[in-house]
Chains A and B, each alone.
Chain A
Amino acid sequence: MNDPIVLEGNAAVEEFDVRKYIRLQMMPHFLCPGCGHGIALRALLWAVHELGIDKDRLAVVSGIGCAGRLSAYIDANTFHVTHGRPLAFASGLALVRPDLHVVVITGDGDCLAIGGNHFIHTCRRNLKLTCLMLNNEVYGMTGGQVSPTTSETRITTTTQLGNAEPHFDACALAAAAGAGFVGREVTHHVPKLKDVMRAALEHPGFAFVEVMSDCTEIFGRKNDMGSSPEMILRQKSEIRPSAYRDTVETPFRPNTLPTGVLMCNERPEYGAAYRQYAQTVKSAGDGKQKRG
């Protein structure tokens, strides 16, 4: 039962219906109208469906926040744990249950502020685990405080005059800290987002995906970014993959952001090495018992 997972390939003979993967009795969910987190959740479940992952083999761990709340809506094994610690919890789970697909859903505050330390060390270990960080540039759940990813000059409840702190590039951070897979996508491109998540789920090591998500009710409102449709259309016009910058100089659109699979390497995965050590110790122990 505890054998590491082997993906059986695409079991998506059936058309994807998100309702087969959510807890219907919990719907409608608690997110505000237009919140991008819902779109990200759909993309994840779509990727799970395409890979043919059995719900019983899926474990979703999430921290606290609007993003953290998402695990509650998934009809699988879900764990809603303490703020900033979903990666720590998930690491333990992934080590003892390599037969599970362990997925962490976390917010930018959850992952990079209170959970920043856990984040860099999880990247460093490169344990097989998928981490989706929904980046809405703000602490949505607690009323819109500044987060480590809030862009410069943006207004939040704690930066009323505009944010003066430089923000983290979460993907660069993950890559520098040693994550085996790093990807980024916006919620506007749902099929692409699904593909990045799918590639992340298939990756044998630690896979980090940053999802650029819209906090419509708080961040959007405070920064005069318009209604939900305007915010999502803004992703299309303002967030452009860096390839655009490489081919066409876009002086009027400096806000380019690389998207897609940004890095993917074959660094040794921690879990396998860990289990091998454990096995050695275990067999040594067994030998002693026989002698005794």
Chain B
Amino acid sequence: MSLASEVAESSQHSGGAAARGSREPVNVLIVGVGGQGVIMVSKVLASLCQAHGLQVKQSEVHGMAKRGGSVFSHVRFGKQVWSPTIPKGDVDILLALEWAEGLRWLPQLRAETGIFICDTKRIVPPFACLNRRQGAPMRYSRETPAEVIAHVAEAYAVDATRMADELGNERAANTVLVGALSTAMEFPLADWERVLAEFVPRKTVGVNLEAFRLGRSWIEEARRTAPDTSDPQGQGLAAAVVPSTVRVEIEAQWCKSCDICVKLCPERCLRLNSERIAELTDPAKCTGCRLCEWLCPDFAIRVHLQPAAAVA
């Protein structure tokens, strides 16, 4: 289903403000990483809806804002809204300011009709790097935008951060996305721009309005052309890192069973065997950090790191 038909369908709706004409209320989930402006975007939307005489309920998790953590905000609007939170799987529009956050919340989107608008910007959280093995792949999502789009009723992967950067202010990426979001609703353009100007810092009104229009025209353009499957970002995301292999060599004759390597190995992959000689129990867990090699007072351990290619 194209957005154009969406918009046409919703135009009969009171206030002209629904992506889903027949159903009340409209559920918008806005997600991102602390500091990206999730809350600002939801305030813009809520204020706009209020100005159009609609009831709005908004709830958010913003405690992680300063820590680069996951932030989300529910915005529900319509003639009558009872609960401030969106029931599971009832999201009409998922607006994501960060790629992995978008994927995290994707299951909340209505399977048949949901619209997914997502920045391809990647902010890699520390826990995506938990595997400390050298060359280990990050556990950040490796799906390409094309792969994701194929599974969603209607999806747009927008390189909003780059677009905003080209306008001279990377921080306006969120308004690029607001522009994209605006195409899924029937509020007049002038109202969007008026509310937006109220909520962004005064000095940046100009660039934000430009960003907003850019986001709008980008979506309109994307709607006209066939769904974009070429995805220049995709290859970058999919490029696999070649893991290196680790070999731990233990000189049994020199080991004095002091237990230091066993107790200090951060991965707990060494033990003393029945003869009380150090031995590697779980080669797959070894990250090649060399702590055992450094701390063995008897020079009994040597860690060999080899690029995978060198291993026959």
A190 to B264, CA, bound (A): 13
- Which of B254, B294, B302 meets A191, CB within 8 Å? B294
Q: Are B299 and A33 in contact (CB under 8 A)?
A: no
Query: Taking the complex as formed, is A94 at the interface, i.e. its CB lies under 8 A from any CB of chain B?
Result: no
Q: Are A42 and B294 in contact (CB under 8 A)?
A: yes
Query: Taking the complex as formed, is A65 at the interface, i.e. its CB lies under 8 A from any CB of chain B?
Result: no
A19-B299 in contact given A27-B254, A28-B253, A190-B294 (Cβ < 8 Å): yes
Q: B254 to chain A: which residues have CB within 8 Å?
A: 27-28
- Which of A29, A37, A39, A228 meets B294, CB within 8 Å? A39
A34-B294 in contact given A27-B299, A42-B299 (Cβ < 8 Å): no
Query: Taking the complex as formed, is B60 at the interface, i.e. its CB lies under 8 A from any CB of chain A?
Result: no
A187 to B257, CA, bound (A): 18
Query: Taking the complex as formed, is B64 at the interface, i.e. its CB lies under 8 A from any CB of chain A?
Result: no
Query: Taking the complex as formed, is A229 at the interface, i.e. its CB lies under 8 A from any CB of chain B?
Result: yes
Query: Taking the complex as formed, is B104 at the interface, i.e. its CB lies under 8 A from any CB of chain A?
Result: no
Q: Are A229 and B259 in contact (CB under 8 A)?
A: yes
Query: Taking the complex as formed, is B256 at the interface, i.e. its CB lies under 8 A from any CB of chain A?
Result: yes
Query: Taking the complex as formed, is A227 at the interface, i.e. its CB lies under 8 A from any CB of chain B?
Result: yes
Query: Taking the complex as formed, is A17 at the interface, i.e. its CB lies under 8 A from any CB of chain B?
Result: yes
Please indicate which of the listed interface residues A33, A35, A37 has the most CB atoms of chain B within 10 Å of its own CB.
A33
B291 — nearest CB in chain A belongs to which residue? A190
Q: Are A31 and B295 in contact (CB under 8 A)?
A: no
A216-B258 in contact given A22-B299, A232-B264 (Cβ < 8 Å): yes
A37-B297 in contact given A228-B258, A233-B264 (Cβ < 8 Å): yes
A68 to B259, CA, bound (A): 25
Q: A34 to chain B: which residues have CB within 8 Å?
A: 256, 258-260, 297
Q: How large is the interface on B (under 10, 10 to 19, 20 to 34, 35 or more residues)?
A: 10 to 19
Query: Taking the complex as formed, is A38 at the interface, i.e. its CB lies under 8 A from any CB of chain B?
Result: yes
Q: A37 to chain B: which residues have CB within 8 Å?
A: 297
Q: Are B299 and A38 in contact (CB under 8 A)?
A: yes
A34 to B297, CA, bound (A): 6
B256 — nearest CB in chain A belongs to which residue? A33
A33 to B295, CA, bound (A): 12
Query: Taking the complex as formed, is B298 at the interface, i.e. its CB lies under 8 A from any CB of chain A?
Result: yes
User: Which of chain A's residues 32-55 have a Cβ closer than 8 Å to chain B?
Assistant: 32-39, 42
CB distance from B291 to the nearest CB of A (A): 8
Q: B263 to chain A: which residues have CB within 8 Å?
A: 229-230, 233
Query: Taking the complex as formed, is B262 at the interface, i.e. its CB lies under 8 A from any CB of chain A?
Result: yes
Q: A164 to chain B: which residues have CB within 8 Å?
A: none
Q: Are B295 and A28 in contact (CB under 8 A)?
A: no
Q: Are A39 and B297 in contact (CB under 8 A)?
A: yes
A29 to B254, CA, bound (A): 8
CB distance from A273 to the nearest CB of B (A): 39
Q: Are A33 and B294 in contact (CB under 8 A)?
A: no
Query: Taking the complex as formed, is A262 at the interface, i.e. its CB lies under 8 A from any CB of chain B?
Result: no
Query: Taking the complex as formed, is A18 at the interface, i.e. its CB lies under 8 A from any CB of chain B?
Result: yes
A230 to B264, CA, bound (A): 9
B263 — nearest CB in chain A belongs to which residue? A229
Q: Are B298 and A38 in contact (CB under 8 A)?
A: yes
Q: Are B297 and A31 in contact (CB under 8 A)?
A: yes
A230 — nearest CB in chain B belongs to which residue? B263
CB distance from A42 to the nearest CB of B (A): 7
Q: Are B257 and A33 in contact (CB under 8 A)?
A: yes
Q: Are B264 and A18 in contact (CB under 8 A)?
A: no
Q: B299 to chain A: which residues have CB within 8 Å?
A: 18-19, 22, 27, 38, 42
Q: B295 to chain A: which residues have CB within 8 Å?
A: 39, 187-188, 190, 232
A188 to B295, CA, bound (A): 7
CB distance from B257 to the nearest CB of A (A): 6
Q: Are B298 and A232 in contact (CB under 8 A)?
A: no
Contact with A along B271-312 (1 / 0, CB 8 A): 000000000000000000000001111111010000000000
A227 to B264, CA, bound (A): 12
Q: Are B262 and A229 in contact (CB under 8 A)?
A: yes
A31 to B258, CA, bound (A): 11
A17 to B301, CA, bound (A): 11
CB distance from A227 to the nearest CB of B (A): 6
Contact with B along A182-193 (1 / 0, CB 8 A): 000001101100
Q: B294 to chain A: which residues have CB within 8 Å?
A: 39, 42, 190-191
User: Which of chain B's residues 184-235 have a Cβ closer than 8 Å to chain A?
Assistant: none
A32 — nearest CB in chain B belongs to which residue? B256
Q: Can you spell out 27 A-B residue pairs with CB atoms less than 8 angstroms apart? A: A19-B299, A19-B302, A27-B253, A27-B254, A27-B299, A28-B254, A28-B256, A29-B298, A31-B297, A31-B298, A33-B258, A33-B298, A34-B260, A37-B297, A38-B296, A38-B299, A39-B296, A39-B297, A190-B294, A190-B295, A227-B258, A228-B259, A229-B260, A229-B264, A230-B263, A232-B264, A233-B264
If A38-B297, A38-B298, A190-B294 are given as contacts, then 7 extra A-B residue pairs at C-beta distance below 8 Å, sorted by A number, are A19-B299, A28-B253, A31-B298, A33-B256, A229-B260, A229-B262, A233-B264
Residues of B within 8 A of A (CB): 253-254, 256-260, 262-264, 294-300, 302
8 nearest CB pairs, A to B:
A38-B297, A229-B263, A34-B258, A190-B294, A33-B256, A33-B258, A228-B258, A28-B254
